[in-house]
């Protein structure tokens, strides 16, 4: 089993989220606050920008999980007219614009808050709601827990961690 291990029960989902949190906190500590606002990542981004980007998308995960708790469709953090399937660039620009000028302490706090809320929602949702495919119509046949946790893991480990590690190695 690897990073996208069998996410087939609540304990596995929570362990995966907690493992990701540890990975993110570890790389945050390794970067050090003094370097987080220095450019050097692709597209001229800073570590803080990438952390805010990851957090912005984790708000999406929070929205889905908390919608599972309420039984209503998720309300995403970006403007309603943007669709994550067709408007990725626009959503990424919205996240950047919404977070670029935030103080680093706020970006760090929001990152931690998203992890707290993801963990709380997973712990609170009935296991059937987490694991049953087609349980929520807005997930188009996917099981809530595995879909959102796997997406969150892949977003960090596949799409962003390599660039962050390369940036860190340039000390």
Q: Is the pLDDT of residue 2 over 90?
A: no
151 Cβ neighbours under 8 A, 6+ residues apart: 61
Q: Is the pLDDT of residue 4 over 50?
A: no
pLDDT at 170 (0 to 100): 87
Supply the pTM of this predicted model.
0.94
Task: List pLDDT tens digits, range 54-71.
Answer: 999 999 999 999 999 998
* Cβ-contact 124, 67 below 8 angstroms: no
pLDDT at 1 (0 to 100): 37
42 within domain boundaries: yes
Q: Is the pLDDT of residue 126 over 50?
A: yes
* Residues spanned by the domain of 128: 25-168
Q: Total structural domains in the chain?
A: 1
Q: Is the pLDDT of residue 131 over 90?
A: yes
Task: List pLDDT tens digits, range 101-119.
Answer: 999 999 999 999 999 999 9
Looking up residue 104, the CATH number of its domain turns out to be 1.20.120.450
104 within domain boundaries: yes
14 within domain boundaries: no
Measured at the alpha carbon of residue 43, what is the angle toward residues 42 and 45, in degrees to the nearest 5? 80
8 Cβ neighbours under 8 A, 6+ residues apart: 131, 146
Q: Residue written as tokens 């220095």?
A: 38
125 within domain boundaries: yes
């Amino acid at each position: 089993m690897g990073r996208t291990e069998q996410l087939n029960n609540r304990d596995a989902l929570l362990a995966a989220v907690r493992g990701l949190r540890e990975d993110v906190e570890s790389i945050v500590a390794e970067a050090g606050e003094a370097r987080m606002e220095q450019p050097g990542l692709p597209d001229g981004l800073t570590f803080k920008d990438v952390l805010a980007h990851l957090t912005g998308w984790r708000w999406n995960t929070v929205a889905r999980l908390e919608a599972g708790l309420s039984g209503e469709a998720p309300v995403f953090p970006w403007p309603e007219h943007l669709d994550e399937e067709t408007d990725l660039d626009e959503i990424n620009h919205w996240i950047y614009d919404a977070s670029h000028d935030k103080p680093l302490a706020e970006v760090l706090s929001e990152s931690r808050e998203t992890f707290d809320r993801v963990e709380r929602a997973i712990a609170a949702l009935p296991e059937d709601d987490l694991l049953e495919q087609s349980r929520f119509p807005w997930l188009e046949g996917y099981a809530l827990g595995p879909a959102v946790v796997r997406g969150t893991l892949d977003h960090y480990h596949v799409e962003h961690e390599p660039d962050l590690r390369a940036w860190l190695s340039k000390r």
